[in-house]
Amino acid sequence: MANYTYVYQVYGNHDGVLDIYSSKKRAIDAAIEYVQQSGNDYFNIDKDNPYITYIEGEDSTAQVEQFYLK
């Protein structure tokens, strides 16, 4: 059986791909920071999809998408 590792790509709606992380927590923190830097003090985190986490603010959104590498 092959060993897989996950990576997490952070995408901002205004800037495209922001970075890639090996930690889901760090990726989500970066996405939250991106939304807050756009002046959104309040935001919603949508974790309904197991592979994509959405952080939605009033003026901007970010998403953390999970990929696995072989």
pLDDT in tens, 2-56: 688 999 999 999 999 999 999 999 999 999 999 999 888 899 999 999 899 999 9
22 sits in the region (left: phi over 0; alpha: psi -120 to 50; else beta) called alpha
Q: Name the residue ranges covered by the structural domains of the chain.
A: 5-69
> Other C-beta atoms within 10 Å of 51: how many?
11
Q: Which pTM does this prediction carry?
A: 0.89
Angle at 12 (CA atoms; ends 10, 14), nearest 5 degrees: 160
The per-residue pLDDT for range 60-70, each reduced to its tens digit, is: 999 999 999 88
Contact predicate 23/13, CB 8 Å: no
pLDDT of 1 > 60? The answer is no
